[in-house]
Structure 1
Amino acid sequence: MVFRKACAGMAIVLAFAVSGCASIVSDSKPKVGLYSMPSKANYVIKDSKGGVVMKGITPGAAILETSRGYFKSESYTVTFQKDGYAETTVPLKSTVSGWYWGNLLVGGLIGMLIVDPLTGAMYTLPEDATGNLSAVALPQASLAPISSFPQ
């Protein structure tokens, strides 16, 4: 009986020691909401290499990778555009997840140096991106007074 409890306890400790804290509680492919003011704007998401990842119309959502390799965070740009409005670009930069530092508390050196960096769970992205589009002023037509036309 005591042996079984000891084995169960060791199994729990071993599970935490070999897994990454961020891998357990966060997602390496989070869902990012995409919004614009005004709505119904087109958006294009590009990764750090300039490749198009996704296109759509706001409001929308994208599931994006937080990492582009071992200890390499991924970043994106979201370009919003709508007829009659100036195009705007919003950066989406991944940052180190607070859960990643939980490896220090739990003693998960393997999680900190191997699991979380390999899975990308050590990074996180903002929950959403909003493009605030400004209306474009139409050029004023220069009209000559009617009296100046030849008669």
Structure 2
Amino acid sequence: MKNLCIATVVLALSGCASVMTAEEQSIKVTASNNQPIEVTVDDKKTTTPGMVVVLRDGKDKVVTSTTPGCHTATPIKKTIAPVFWGNIIIGGVLGSTTDGSTGKMWNYADSVEVTCAAQ
């Protein structure tokens, strides 16, 4: 009975990344020269320093800039969300497949810096 209670608590407190992870993520974007530059991520524009909200879909994200002297494309790093690993143990193939298909198994970097020439 004790094992059943422990198992129930573990299952109740655990969840797959598709349930436990937000659908969107905010990413801070800065420029290395500390100057305001206009950047775009997933067709969303902002001026640095600024925030851009992206859909957590597992796709590669790139910060683009047309500002002279700045890199035109800066990739945003992504990592697997820790909750995904627990889901593999508890949810098995079904849970991990769901996380993979929704893209919510991925966390994007909280911030990214666009490299620009010093002015």
How high is the TM-score relative to the length of structure 1?
0.59
Q: Distance in 1 between matches of 2:12 and 2:101?
A: 17
Structure of larger gyration radius: 1
SS at match of 1:95: strand
Aligned runs of 1:132-151 on 2, under 5 Å?
A: 132-135=115-118
Give structure 1 stretches of 5+ with no counterpart. Answer: 47-52, 68-72, 137-151
Aligned counterpart, 2:45:
55
Which amino acid is the alignment partner of residue 56 of structure 2? T
How high is the TM-score relative to the length of structure 2?
0.72
Residues 1:23 and 2:18 are matched in the alignment: yes
Preserved contact between residue 34 and residue 61 of structure 1 (Cα < 8 Å)? yes
1:14 offset after TM fit, Å? Answer: 5.3
- Structure 1 runs, 4 residues or longer, greater than 4 Å off: 8-17
Preserved contact between residue 88 and residue 95 of structure 2 (Cα < 8 Å)? no
C-alpha distance 99-10 of structure 1, shift in aligned 2 (>3 A): closer
Aligned counterpart, 1:99:
83
Q: Kindly, what percent of the aligned residue pairs are identical?
A: 21
1:42 offset after TM fit, Å? Answer: 0.9
Aligned counterpart, 1:145:
none
Give structure 2 stretches of 5+ with no counterpart. Answer: none
